[in-house]
Amino acid sequence: MRGILNLLFFVAVFTLNSCMSTATLDLIKPADVNISSEIKHFAVIQRNEAKKGDKLAKRVEGLFSGEGIGTDKRSAGYALNGLILQLSRSPRFTIKSAQTTLELYGTGTRKMAEPLDWYVVREICESNNADALIVIEAFDSDVRRNVSERDVTRKVSGGEVTERVYESRLRVDVEVGWRIYYPDKQIIVDNYSHQKSNTRRASGDSEVQSRRNLPGLESIVKLTASQLGEEYGRRISPSRVTVKRLYYGSGSFALKQGKQKIIQKNYDEAIGLWQNEYEFTLKQKLKGKCAYNLALAYELKGDYKNALYWIEQAIQNQNKKARRYLNILQERVEEERRLKDQMGDEDFDF
């Protein structure tokens, strides 16, 4: 009985949402980490590789795990590339690979080494015209493989035939540790580790064939490393995102006309149509829809003050979706405040 009720609930939600139209909105989301507006130029470098005398254990691990010798060393560079790619899209920072003659060593594992000495950080930043230094302090990958088998029956002319199929599964786990050093204040701005997994599957008529059909291990490690680099870039820098908003595009002539204006990005004309409908209609339900749409149109214009006003009007007119949208708008206002702090833009006005 509960399953039927849940199904009916989801059908009702889907039906309600399917009656609404969708608008897209390009936003700049603030970073998770607040970095001083004085920091504008980053240099990035690796120090995850162990000293020569400490590499033997890592090589043995690579042989037994099937990772291959040097996979982590080569793949860590892809984490840097992913970070550089993400920050190159940001309006907040410039970034470059640091050039230095200094030899920087880590642990060769997922454990971070002790922080770099400040004189080392300062020398690298000064020689690369950077305000701060981002360092890959740790990089480690783990590989898990397994093979299962199952019998598959298929129809052929004259009857059925049963075949044994082997399915190989390859899972790669990568962990990267990062630090951001700010030499002018001698503070570590961020000390962060994160992990990501990617899984690939392949089948074949033998165990060997199913393994051969899997993509190359190192390519998956590099892909995962690159994804972690981009993810870290979003953590420390404002990033551009596209979000979707639902609104009422039917239910009255004005709502339909306004929808066309939204599609054309003519937000002022949409506002005029919906505000006129709101003022003259006697139907509370239609008032609620118009007020909701007005909040959307003002958000699309970046006018959060009026967006909040109109979503409150939608709530007062018993619009059932308005309270959730109010929460979204309040969150957006807070994000804009944080973004202003991060961008250091005194003229920024939300």
Residue 194 CA: distances (Å) to CA of 61, 69, 137, 138: 21, 23, 12, 10
Please tell me the distance from the alpha carbon of residue 342 to that of residue 234, in angstroms, as a whole number: 13
Q: Which region, left, alpha or beta, applies to residue 302 given φ > 0 means left and ψ of -120 to 50 means alpha?
A: left
pLDDT per residue of the chain (350 residues) written in tens, 0 to 9: 555 555 544 444 444 444 799 999 999 889 999 898 899 999 999 998 887 655 445 444 444 445 545 677 788 899 999 999 999 888 789 999 999 988 888 888 889 999 999 999 999 999 999 999 999 999 999 999 999 988 888 888 878 888 888 999 999 999 999 999 999 999 999 999 999 999 999 999 888 998 999 999 999 999 999 999 999 999 999 888 899 999 999 999 999 999 999 999 999 999 999 999 999 999 999 999 999 999 999 999 999 999 999 999 999 999 999 999 999 999 999 999 998 888 775 444 43
Tokens of 281: 């209609």
**Number of other CB atoms surrounding residue 80 within 10 Å:** 24
pLDDT score at 345: 55
* Strand bridging mode 239-247 / 21-29: antiparallel
pLDDT score at 51: 76
Please tell me the distance from the alpha carbon of residue 140 to that of residue 73, in angstroms, as a whole number: 9
Per-domain boundaries in the chain: 19-30+241-343, 41-236
Type and span of the H or E element at 350:
none
The CATH class that applies to domain 19-30+241-343 reads mainly alpha
- pTM of structure: 0.74
* Strand bridging mode 132-156 / 41-46: parallel
pLDDT score at 155: 84
Q: 217: closest CA among 65, 81, 110?
A: 65
What is the per-residue DSSP string for 11-78?
HHHHHHHHTSEEEEEEEEEPPSS---TT--EEEEEE--SPPGGG-HHHHHHHHHHTS-TTHHHHHHHH
187-204 β-sheet, strand order:
94-97, 41-46, 132-156, 159-182, 187-204
Q: 294: closest CA among 313, 279, 274?
A: 274
Please tell me the distance from the alpha carbon of residue 343 to that of residue 177, in angstroms, as a whole number: 25
Please tell me the distance from the alpha carbon of residue 286 to that of residue 102, in angstroms, as a whole number: 69
Please tell me the distance from the alpha carbon of residue 109 to that of residue 292, in angstroms, as a whole number: 53
For residue 247, give the DSSP letter: E
* Strand bridging mode 132-156 / 159-182: antiparallel
Q: In sequence order, which ranges of the chain are alpha helices (DSSP H)?
A: 2-18, 56-65, 71-88, 118-127, 207-212, 217-236, 253-263, 267-280, 284-301, 304-316, 322-343
pLDDT score at 52: 65
